[in-house]
A and B are shown apart, each in its own frame.
Chain A
Amino acid sequence: MRRRAFWPLIAIVLAVAFVLIPGEPILHAVGAVPLLLLLPGYAVSFLLFGPERPAGATAVVALAVSVAVTGFGGFGLALGGVLDRTWIIAVDAGVGTGAAAFAAWRYRSDLRPRRSPGHVWTRLLVVSGSALGVAIIGVAFALDVTSARQAQNQASVALSVITAGDALQIQVAAPDDGSFSGTLELKGTSTILRTWTLQGIPPGGRWTPSGSVHLPKNTGSLQLVLSRRGSRLRVVDIAPSSSRSGA
């Protein structure tokens, strides 16, 4: 025999403890998702249906009411100009704890027998199947996020070249979320006219060549090429000097 009515209360206390542990971002995330998107509604479903809850309706109430509590709570806090972490936790934990405590008191003497655990092979199959599925999804996301980050980093560095007469105004801006090191080359049709080595531009930082850069006379088409570890990140074409006009 056990008291199921205390479960939401315990779950909310645990979730709040997780989000309040200082300096542990992973635990904050682990606690915050159920605290905001599951537990307030779950506690309300206990209050509505009691320990013998219909599983489907409980799940719907748990998710939908939690989103509504977080939404309306946040809306009220934003109207009051206090949409900050402490208040959000207070509202969601407050609603959840209130409902859970009331449910626990209301069904305090409602003792139910333990549910049948089911066939051991069935449980083993479900657990191992779920673990395998989660692992596959985890691998899929790890590979995809790595690929997307590489693509983003490759493109997140900004290279700007402005021609003013025969002068070149060059600027390289590192991405906001990472430093940048690489090579910048000014290329003619068959030769490299000039090379700069860019070392550790801080996140969001800018680099410009020291001293002014002038273009040689009567050159054909030029290219400015920004590379990192041998791969070209940016290529900006510069029109031939005869057709170039100052801006």
Chain B
Amino acid sequence: MSVATDVLRPVAAVRLDRPEMTPEVNRIPRLGWSIWAAISACLGVLSVAAADIQSRESRPDTYVLFWLGIGLIFLPTAWQLCRRDTTRNERLVLALVLGVSLYLVKCLYSPTAFVFHDEFAHLRTIINLRNSGHLFGWNPEIRVAADFPGLAVVTLSLVKVSGLSVVTSGMIVIGVGRLLLMLSVFLLLERLTGSSRAAGIGCLIYAGNANFLYWSAQFAYESLALPLALAVAYLLLRRSDGTKRELVPALLVAAMVVITHHLTAYALFALLVAWSIVVVLRRRRGRRGDYAPHVPALLLGAGAGLWLGLAAPQTLGYLLPVIGKALGQGVDLLLLRGSNRALFANPGGPIQPVWEQATAIASVAIIVVFVVLELHGWRRRGEHPLTSALAWTSTLYLLILPLRFTIAGQEAANRSGEFLFVGIGVVLATMLIGGGTRASHARNRGVRRWHRVWNRLRRVRTATAFVACVVIFTGGIAVSWSYDARLPPPPSSAGVPTITTPDDIAAAQWFLGEYGPNHRLVADITTGLAFATYGDQNVLSGASDGAHVWRIFFPSTMTPTVYGELVASRVEFVFDQKPLTESVPSSSVTPVFDLGEPTVDDLRPSSVASQAKFVTASGFSMVYRSATITIYRVDQGQVRAASGSG
């Protein structure tokens, strides 16, 4: 290999850690600290388990135990990862311990059943595949979930070979994904920054994305696809060193991403294209040694396009309205037509503590400052093209940030976190521990001065990095899940359930035993999840059936509209949740019945009359009534007659 090529491949040579500062591997006292940090993480998991148990029993102080557990998991590990004299292997293991411990927090939330919304959709895909043996079955919860069967196939394979339950197998599969995620993020950042310390800090920052604790740990296709995509990026990064051995496994894994999750496949494709563009631009400036992932990008794009066209044509119909609505509300915001969402608002739920709100704002501020500094010329010459591509993706964070002030954009902003935080991790980690090493290359004079000051403050850099990581991580949790939904509710909690309760599951199993599968029924979204999976029923929705479910539930009397909707949607059963009349739904369970329902109706309890109308309605007969759920059988003949359409 020529000397020139070596010069053009500077990343491996950029060592932000000083080699003389890297101690011997077998020095016991320091290793002891890392082991204690890992044991502390385990104690943190125990503390979160205690919080969950107390929460199920409606005892007080669960909040303190939860944060104590999170602190025990994060703080010692973060300190060890930020320190200068921790060895590379310790950092790698600690990053894995951190990722897995935080994954266990989600597992402990509900260790015996899936309870989150999207988990039910994927559970339904598995049930369909197990019962029929055929792929692409009907999935009333998320229609496209069945079109991307990667997660379902892997999980069902494990179920069949191991004999474990679907829930346990699903947790193991996602756990393996979490391990792969942390491994890939660490190795990717280590390779890009040339520093295991920066990689460790990057992992801490990545863990600060709002979805890391719960959303990315739930049993859903993205939770498996994202680690696979990052593994592809890492393998292709190794390919850029000149070895070709990683190309075939990278393509195999990329193909797995294509059949597992739509957005992740498209995001990976976009990243490879951006990487290629950076390389092409650099080649114009005379740098010809960089590897450009044209071929993997082309194959991935072709694969994703073919899958979209042949196997999952409804994906665009699923994604575009969500994106369009978010963009529309974003444009409204920019045109000063006002925001339709207040930050930290939780109608119907408890108010988030002020310190959490303050930390959330501080975490966003830290990220914004560093990304803006990056834009102003902190960039180092000679960095890998993928570093440039990832650093530019971090600027998307700034662009998407205003969407948090809109209802539709809030979810998009939150969901983008797990993708964008890889770039944010690169930017912040590099700058926090040693971005000033090449300060003379900074284009802006002010930035150059800041670099020099920063370099003189080397001693406080570890503490600064630690504090920044703690604030970003804590802020990430604060803006992740609704404050009142972070711990499992008691089985007979008052108020509108924010997750599917055992009561719903018991009713769903009763229903399946009594009437068999695949009846057309209408219910609120949370109840419907249990009946679509444990009950194997066809829960009607606007997306899958064109139904307008709320038209049946909101009116106080049996109006022609109610009858018309019952006839048009060929409803066989109607389900009532009594708690909906007793309190205002939490913001985390709106919409209550389906997308598109009038927002004003979500801000108040349903009227008692709106549920009582079914008792005496023509064509309705009560078949089940528990403390919370009432089920009515609908005689379509009588309903048609009542509506005048028979």
Q: Which residues of A contact B (CB under 8 A)?
A: 19, 25, 28-29, 31-33, 35-38, 41, 44, 48-49, 56-57, 59-61, 63-65, 67-75, 78-79, 81, 83-85, 88-89, 92, 118-119, 121-122, 125-126, 129, 132-134, 136-137, 139-141, 143-145, 147-149, 151-152, 154-162, 171, 173, 175-176, 204, 206, 234-237, 245, 247
Contact = CB atoms under 8 A, between A and B. Distances in A.
Interface in B115-138: 129, 133-135
Given A133-B42, A140-B48, A247-B615, 18 more contacts: A28-B162, A33-B162, A49-B245, A63-B183, A63-B231, A64-B235, A64-B256, A68-B255, A71-B260, A83-B160, A84-B160, A88-B160, A118-B25, A121-B28, A126-B31, A126-B35, A155-B505, A162-B622
Contacts, number: 271
A237 B56 CA distance: 24
A236 B625 contact: yes
B161 interface: yes
A83 to B, nearest CB: 6
B217 interface: no
Given A78-B129, A156-B502, A236-B626, A60 B187 contact: yes
A20 to B, nearest CB: 10
A144 B53 CA distance: 6
A65 B39 contact: no
B2 interface: no
A37 B162 contact: no
**Top 8 closest pairs, chain A to chain B, by CB:** A155-B502, A32-B162, A74-B153, A129-B35, A64-B231, A68-B256, A247-B622, A136-B42
Interface residues of B, number: 96
A155 B238 contact: no
Interface in B33-74: 35-36, 38-39, 41-43, 45-46, 48-50, 52-53, 56-57
Interface of B: 25-26, 28, 31-32, 35-36, 38-39, 41-43, 45-46, 48-50, 52-53, 56-57, 92, 104, 107-108, 110-113, 129, 133-135, 149-150, 153-154, 156-158, 160-164, 172-173, 176-177, 179-180, 183-184, 186-187, 190, 224, 227-228, 231-232, 234-235, 238, 245-246, 249, 252-253, 255-256, 259-260, 488, 490-492, 501-503, 505-507, 509-510, 513, 615-616, 620-627
A176 to B, nearest CB: 5
Nearest to B56: A151
Contacts of A247: 615, 620-622
A29 B133 contact: no
Interface of chain A, main secondary structure: helix
A48 B245 contact: yes
Contacts of A88: 157, 160-161
8 contacts: A19-B161, A63-B183, A64-B180, A67-B173, A83-B160, A137-B45, A140-B42, A247-B621
